[in-house]
Structure 1
Amino acid sequence: MRTLTVMGAGRLGCSLARLAHLSGHYQVLDVVGRRPEPLRRAREFIGAGREATDLGQLRAADFYLLSVPDGEIASCANDLAAAGVAPAGCVVFHASGVGEAALLAPLAERGVLTASLHPAFSFADPARAVADFAGTLCALEGDEDACTRLEALALALGGRPFRLAPGGKAAYHAGLSVASNFLVALTAMAQRLTARAGVPDELAQPLLGGLMRQTLENALALGPRDALTGPIARGDVGTVERHLAALGDAELAAAYRALGRQTVALAGDRLPDAVRLRLLALLY
């Protein structure tokens, strides 16, 4: 049975450690934290492991998960390397969405295999995360041998591992942010406009929600280009002019223009050259 030590008693670390324990293929050795009470709660949730507040107390493990905030990963790796408790040939990994395995360089210099494993999942509630994790896509990058071993770990947790291209972590995370965070921002933008049009609050959600769900389903099923509809895709310059006149807000207008230019590019050769130029003149 492989062994796992978790550094950090937060929600992600607790969730992954609990899943590893439940898999029956991994033994949680140590759970590391700074404060005794959160550390005790973490160990109780995981259902295994020994509480540790001193890196010198750690036992040699096959895997070490650095489940700490992104800004602390490099310093945590430095501390672990200085403690000399992670043996050469073991795997140390973090779960940052944007950070790469290079954050663990001090450990790699000591012969440790380093990588990152990012589950595309929300760990807001660890109990719910453990119950719902099955099928979660897990992005891997880093040392080849480390990634191979982490593929097995991700599968044991119930995840679906896949590899990122070298140097692709920031673009990967930006893509997730666009798909998630910007979708929320677009919802707020659309609600501001429908409110300005006099749409009652109780109708705004069904009005926009139904259209957004249908559009997203079409984009995923057909591909963005084939799913694209609307005035820009039709080359309706007059409607775009009326939209811009109705916005009445510099920030909304800037967002509309930026997204409009992306829509023109997506429409591609569906637009005659003359129409494309007229649209772009409005959108710059």
Structure 2
Amino acid sequence: MAPTLNIIGAGRLGRVLGRLFAASGAFVVQDVLTRSTGTALDAVGFIGAGRAVGGMETLRRADAVMLAVSDDQIEQACAALAASVEHSEHQHALDGVLVFHCSGALSSAALEAAARQGAFTASVHPVRSFADPQQVARDFAGTWCGLEGDARALALLAPALALIGARAVAIDADAKTVYHAASVFASNYLVTVLDAALRAYQAAGIPEPLARELARPLAFETLDNVFGLGPRAALSGPIARGDFATVARQQAALDGWDQPTGRLYRALAKATTVLATLPSSPIAPIAPINLKDTA
């Protein structure tokens, strides 16, 4: 029999992982708890398995518990979980149970309340956007997952992650916040920079749909070069050529057009000037963690 799994918090990420775990046979999804019965029922429908419950006290004992709540709720939810079982009819209800969360910013240390009761704790962070849960669920295979926690937890998670096609990479728990900032740079702030580009094109009289078409090949080609050649070798444009007169003209034009965009350009120009002075080197491939070594 596959191990049982309770899910606390089932937004876009939680319900995608729940569906994948259930469909692959990695876990038998048992109970699903969210902020309301309605959202819990909706999550169960998406997952295709499990029972919607209305409170911590109604959760049945499970082999594993996934906390897929927001970052600022993880410690609180874990403490509530620990408190709900402390005086339950199941003595030592969390002893030997795998408890993990899915935050990119917090380490497994946020699950201390469960660890004190004997739970094996870890964090698993899929490195991708969950804006479209249906699409992510279809195309999840090959997704990198940042993983850290105690060895016993990692040994229990290894077969589950393998069954849903995840590729695990070990991360330093002490640098978890910096790790998460890396994902913010690669995703969220990339959107912000591209938004500035699209607005600047429109300021030059180019309609928004056409602005996207102008930016698309340039952005995609640049990304290909970054990941194929490394950032320094991929760098082009006036700063890479040492044409700071052009940079100054662009800065003045942007300051006159839109001051927030001008400030963004100024900050990026400073960082890009530093990058342009660094030696060029290819990006080393990322080696997945061998989870068998953690047992």
Match of 2:153 in 1: 146
Once the two structures are TM-superposed, the CA of residue 213 in structure 1 deviates from its matched residue by 1.3
Larger relative contact order, structure 1 or 2 (CA cutoff 8 Å, min sep 6):
2
**Residue 160 of structure 1 pairs with residue 167 of structure 2:** yes
Report the 3-state secondary structure (helix = DSSP H, G, I; strand = E; otherwise coil) of the residue aligned with 2:263: helix
Once the two structures are TM-superposed, the CA of residue 111 in structure 1 deviates from its matched residue by 1.4
CA distance in 1, matches of 2:55, 2:252: 63
Choose from 254, 260, 267 the match for 2:276.
267
CA distance in 1, matches of 2:129, 2:12: 10
**Residue 198 of structure 1 pairs with residue 199 of structure 2:** no
**Residue 255 of structure 1 pairs with residue 264 of structure 2:** yes
Report the 3-state secondary structure (helix = DSSP H, G, I; strand = E; otherwise coil) of the residue aligned with 1:98: coil
Once the two structures are TM-superposed, the CA of residue 34 in structure 1 deviates from its matched residue by 4.2
Match of 1:51 in 2: 52
Q: Which moved more, 1:125-134 or 1:170-179?
A: 125-134
Match of 2:67 in 1: 66
Normalised TM-score (structure 1):
0.88
CA distance in 1, matches of 2:235, 2:123: 35
CA distance in 2, matches of 1:137, 1:7: 23
Coordinate RMSD, CA, aligned: 1.9
Q: Deviations over 1:5-29 (max 9, x none)?
A: 1112323222211211111232112
Once the two structures are TM-superposed, the CA of residue 74 in structure 1 deviates from its matched residue by 1.0
CA distance in 1, matches of 2:55, 2:181: 36
Q: Which moved more, 1:166-175 or 1:49-58?
A: 49-58
Q: Which moved more, 1:191-200 or 1:174-183?
A: 191-200
Match of 2:219 in 1: 212
Change (3 A) 1:200 1:128: closer
Change (3 A) 1:245 1:145: same
Amino acid aligned to 1:122: S
CA distance in 2, matches of 1:9, 1:267: 44
**Residue 95 of structure 1 pairs with residue 96 of structure 2:** no
Amino acid aligned to 2:14: G
Match of 2:194 in 1: 187
Report the 3-state secondary structure (helix = DSSP H, G, I; strand = E; otherwise coil) of the residue aligned with 2:174: coil
CA distance in 2, matches of 1:10, 1:191: 31
Contact 1:117–1:150 (8 Å) recurs in 2: no
Once the two structures are TM-superposed, the CA of residue 269 in structure 1 deviates from its matched residue by 5.8
Q: Deviations over 1:162-195 (max 9, x none)?
A: 1111312111111111111111111121223223
Amino acid aligned to 1:204: A
Match of 2:288 in 1: none
CA distance in 1, matches of 2:40, 2:180: 29
Report the 3-state secondary structure (helix = DSSP H, G, I; strand = E; otherwise coil) of the residue aligned with 1:5: strand
Normalised TM-score (structure 2):
0.85
CA distance in 2, matches of 1:239, 1:124: 38
Contact 2:232–2:278 (8 Å) recurs in 1: no
Contact 2:94–2:114 (8 Å) recurs in 1: no
Match of 1:2 in 2: 3
CA distance in 1, matches of 2:177, 2:232: 25
How many matched pairs? Answer: 270
Superposed, 1:163-174 pairs within 5 Å as: 163-174=170-181
Contact 2:57–2:84 (8 Å) recurs in 1: yes
Contact 1:29–1:61 (8 Å) recurs in 2: yes
CA distance in 1, matches of 2:71, 2:57: 23
Report the 3-state secondary structure (helix = DSSP H, G, I; strand = E; otherwise coil) of the residue aligned with 2:187: helix
Identity of aligned residues (%): 44
Once the two structures are TM-superposed, the CA of residue 122 in structure 1 deviates from its matched residue by 2.9
CA distance in 2, matches of 1:267, 1:114: 42
Amino acid aligned to 1:260: A
CA distance in 2, matches of 1:11, 1:188: 24
Match of 1:78 in 2: 79
Change (3 A) 1:155 1:210: same
- Please identify the structure whose Cα radius of gyration is greater: 1
Contact 2:107–2:173 (8 Å) recurs in 1: no
CA distance in 2, matches of 1:46, 1:102: 28
CA distance in 2, matches of 1:232, 1:13: 43
